[in-house]
DNA sequence: TCAAAAGTGTTGATCGTACACCCATGA
DNA sequence: TCATGGGTGTACGATCAACACTTTTGA
């Protein structure tokens, strides 16, 4: 236990964002090329220091979302991933980062001439087997964010956050396939999602023009928790050795 | 964007612990009665400031576990819940807390005469419907920890962390029943857990003396992810209104 | 009328649940 | 030999994967 003159040490606080979206049926993450040291020129997650001692951490994540990605936090899903506080993770000193996961519908390229101009969408597939590195411990944060997304679309309605407000069941299926990296049977998927009570609510009018028969449109219903869950097929398991 | 003389603000960092265990087949959480202001005399989660600017946040959680609860972090499950950083959550100033969830096998009462003497195990049931309050935002942290535990025992082997190194299937069942608040059929539970490949491994010798037929002993196998998952029965859902 | 995508029916295997029943031990 | 808890068999309904098939549109 500390004596009475002991003062607790202070740390610097940053937020980092794993922003995911679907582009051309592939999962992408928004990354920036760092313009300053440390890690100048390397890829990193968007983020930054909290603005002042009174700023809420969640508000800081919303602000960075706006400043670095031109995205409005009220229009997308934003949840905390966790705190990353290992000493030495940032060469500038003791910096603890609170990471957030954001999920956005398909979006245009970040506009040049804005603060977001250094940002670009990269396919997550390029980072999947350690093929490409990121600054700081951002590789770990990205992996944690991906696993969170993969896991949460199983038993929550999170997958709809990748879609526009109204969407077809085929569009929703493309989300699951991109995030999980598995192909799914469209006929079974169609019935499975509709069988979950209050997950999807039909939207009557404005159907879109496609090639074949037009699809029905849906929006998310009140049910956030999926029962039964959408179970992802297991990857090739080689543990078939029980009797 | 900030100008060049701007300096990022610093914050104070604490860790808080949600320590769960099973006592007499009921889920309990370790709480301390605060000896100093703020919230003097009220119940709070064990925790405290990081010791110095170089201490890892996880290590700080291990240290508090030892100091405040007399528990050894190497012998129990410890995982991060998340960061709690709303301004005003602590009247002493801008304090960000990183919360951890710890799960321990059944343990004796904290010893008097130690730093942990102000700590005691309380049944979580007393806090379940806002019946009793906690200091700071610890009520929220406790709720998040409970939901994490309830959710994780569904699809991971976390439930075994509530048991000793070797345990019977009936003991494991009591964990599920206490954490979920549901009674389960012992016969079906028995086969269900054994059907998960590599979840449980038999332990041959030393069986315990009980009333009836002695039960087989098991320890956890290498499989951390449960496939298929143990699904908790749904609470009385009143949304049976689809056609 | 053809291609393409949406949506439906059906079937056999698997899984979950309920519960009857048998087994091994201490008292 | 009885009470007690451990463990097995089985049957029925629900769910799932696979895939043949019909529907609705644009071209």
Question: Does residue A5 sit within a domain?
Answer: no
- Reported residue count of chain A is 243
Domain extent for B21: 12-137
Question: Does residue B1 sit within a domain?
Answer: no
Across B131-141, average pLDDT: 95
Probe site for chain A from B2, B7, B9 (most A CB atoms < 10 A): B9
Instruction: Using a CB–CB cutoff of 8 Å, tell me whether B82 touches chain A.
Output: yes
B195 in the same domain as B108: no
Three-state secondary structure call for residue B15? strand
Q: Supply A164's token pair.
A: 């526009």
Q: Is the pLDDT of residue A147 over 90?
A: yes
Question: Does residue A240 sit within a domain?
Answer: no
User: In this predicted structure, what is the pLDDT of residue B232?
Assistant: 85
* CB-contacts to strand D (7 A): A 185, 187-188, 192, 195, 209, 211-214, 228, 231, 233; B 168-170, 186-188, 190-191, 210-216
Asked if residue A180 lies in contact with residue A150, where contact means CB atoms within 8 angstroms, the answer is yes
Q: Supply B63's token pair.
A: 């240290």
User: In this predicted structure, what is the pLDDT of residue A1?
Assistant: 55
Which residue has its C-alpha nearest to nucleotide C20's C1'?
B187
A196 in the same domain as A132: no
Across A63-68, average pLDDT: 94
Three-state secondary structure call for residue B95? strand
B121 in the same domain as B20: yes
Cα separation, A37 vs A35, whole angstroms: 7
B63 in the same domain as B169: no
User: In this predicted structure, what is the pLDDT of residue A50?
Assistant: 97
CA distance B81 to chain A (A): 7
Lowest-confidence segment of A4-8, A235-239, B14-18, B42-46 by average pLDDT: A235-239
Containing B83, the helix (H) or strand (E) segment is strand B77-84
Question: Does residue A225 sit within a domain?
Answer: no
**What does the pLDDT look like over B12-28, one tens digit per residue?**
999 999 999 999 999 99
**Cα separations (Å) of B8 from A35, A53, A54, B184, B212?**
18, 9, 12, 53, 66
Cα separation, A230 vs A176, whole angstroms: 9
B28 in the same domain as B110: yes
A100 in the same domain as A70: yes
A133 in the same domain as A45: yes
Asked if residue B189 lies in contact with residue B171, where contact means CB atoms within 8 angstroms, the answer is no
The beta strands (E) that lie in B143-242 are given as: 200-203, 217-220
Question: Does residue B230 sit within a domain?
Answer: no
Asked if residue B75 lies in contact with residue B160, where contact means CB atoms within 8 angstroms, the answer is no
A109 in the same domain as A83: yes
Lowest-confidence segment of A128-132, A204-208, B4-8 by average pLDDT: A204-208
Last residue of some domain: B104, B137, B170? Answer: B137
User: In this predicted structure, what is the pLDDT of residue B241?
Assistant: 35
Contacts of B232 in chain A (CB under 8 A): none
User: In this predicted structure, what is the pLDDT of residue A233?
Assistant: 80
Cα separation, B6 vs B29, whole angstroms: 44
Specify the nucleotide whose C1' lies closest to residue B195 (CA). C15
Contacts of B53 in chain A (CB under 8 A): 9-11, 87, 94
DSSP, res B40: T
Q: Supply B39's token pair.
A: 């919230």
**Cα separations (Å) of B36 from A21, A190, B10, B115, B135?**
48, 59, 25, 14, 12
**pLDDT > 90 in chain B, percent:** 78
Q: What is the mean pLDDT of chain B?
A: 90
Residue A212's CATH number? 1.10.10.10
Q: Is the pLDDT of residue A112 over 70?
A: no
Probe site for chain A from B1, B13, B227 (most A CB atoms < 10 A): B13
Instruction: Using a CB–CB cutoff of 8 Å, tell me whether A221 touches chain B.
Output: no
Residue B31, φ and ψ in degrees, nearest 5: -130, 155
Lowest-confidence segment of A121-130, A189-198, B21-30 by average pLDDT: A121-130
Last residue of some domain: A81, A104, A137? Answer: A137
In chain A, the residue whose alpha carbon lies closest to the alpha carbon of B226 is: A234
Cα separation, B243 vs B232, whole angstroms: 25
B116 in the same domain as B49: yes
Question: Does residue A233 sit within a domain?
Answer: no
Instruction: Using a CB–CB cutoff of 8 Å, tell me whether A55 touches chain B.
Output: yes
Instruction: Using a CB–CB cutoff of 8 Å, tell me whether A3 touches chain B.
Output: no
Last residue of some domain: A73, A108, A137? Answer: A137
The angle that helices A186-195 and A169-180 make with each other, rounded to 10 degrees, is: 110
Q: Is the pLDDT of residue B183 over 60?
A: yes
Residue B25, φ and ψ in degrees, nearest 5: 60, 20
Q: Is the pLDDT of residue A241 over 70?
A: no
* A237 vs A58, residue with greater confidence: A58
**Nearest CB neighbour to A198, from listed B9, B197, B239:** B239
- Reported residue count of chain B is 243
Asked if residue A86 lies in contact with residue A137, where contact means CB atoms within 8 angstroms, the answer is yes
User: In this predicted structure, what is the pLDDT of residue A116?
Assistant: 62
B179 in the same domain as B115: no
User: In this predicted structure, what is the pLDDT of residue B130?
Assistant: 80
**Nearest CB neighbour to A57, from listed B1, B9, B83:** B83
Cα separation, B99 vs B168, whole angstroms: 31
The three-state (H, E, C) secondary structure of chain A, written as one string? CCCCCCCCCEEEEEEEEEEEEEECCEEEEEEEECCCCCCCCCEECCEEECCCCCCCHHHHHHHHHHHHHCCCHHHCEEEEEEEECCCCCCCCCCEEEEEEEEECCCCCCCCCCCHHHHEEEEEHHHHCCCCCCCCCCHHHHHHHHHHHHHHHHHHEHHHHHHCCCCECHHHHHHHHHHHHCCCCCHHHHHHHHHHCCCCEEEECCCCCCCCCCCCCEEEECCCCECCCCCCCCCCCCCCCCCC
Question: Does residue B172 sit within a domain?
Answer: yes
Across B179-184, average pLDDT: 96
Q: Is the pLDDT of residue A114 over 80?
A: no
Containing B57, the helix (H) or strand (E) segment is helix B57-69
Across B191-211, average pLDDT: 85
User: In this predicted structure, what is the pLDDT of residue B106?
Assistant: 85
Cα separation, A139 vs A127, whole angstroms: 8
Distance from residue B176's CA to nucleotide D19's C1', rounded to whole Å: 39
Q: Is the pLDDT of residue A67 over 70?
A: yes
A172 in the same domain as A127: no
Q: Is the pLDDT of residue B97 over 90?
A: yes
Cα separation, A67 vs A117, whole angstroms: 10
* B232 vs A74, residue with greater confidence: A74
Question: Does residue B146 sit within a domain?
Answer: no
Q: How confident is residue B117, by pLDDT bands cut at 50, 70 and 90?
A: low
Total domain count for chain B? Answer: 2
A82 in the same domain as A38: yes
């Amino acid at each position: 236990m500390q004596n009475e003159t002991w003062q607790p040490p202070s740390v610097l606080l940053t937020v980092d964002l794993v922003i995911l979206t679907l582009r051309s049926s592939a999962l992408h993450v928004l990354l920036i090329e760092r313009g300053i040291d440390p890690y100048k020129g390397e890829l990193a997650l968007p983020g930054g220091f909290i603005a002042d001692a009174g700023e809420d951490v969640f508000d800081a994540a919303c602000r960075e979302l706006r400043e670095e990605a031109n995205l409005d936090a009220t229009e997308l899903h934003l949840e905390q991933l966790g705190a990353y506080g290992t000493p030495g993770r940032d060469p500038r000193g003791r910096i603890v980062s609170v990471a957030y996961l954001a999920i956005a519908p398909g979006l245009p390229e970040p506009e040049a001439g804005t603060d977001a101009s250094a940002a670009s969408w990269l396919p997550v597939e390029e980072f999947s087997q350690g093929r490409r590195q990121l600054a700081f411990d951002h590789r770990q944060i990205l992996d944690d964010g991906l696993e969170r997304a993969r896991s949460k679309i199983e038993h929550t309605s999170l997958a709809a956050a990748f879609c526009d407000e109204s969407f077809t069941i085929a569009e929703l299926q493309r989300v699951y396939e991109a995030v999980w990296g598995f192909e799914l049977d469209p006929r079974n998927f169609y019935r499975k999602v509709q069988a979950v009570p209050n997950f999807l609510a039909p939207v009557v009018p404005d159907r879109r023009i496609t090639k074949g028969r037009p699809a029905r449109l849906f929006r998310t219903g009140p049910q956030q928790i999926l029962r039964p869950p959408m179970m992802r097929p297991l990857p090739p398991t080689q543990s078939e050795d029980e009797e």
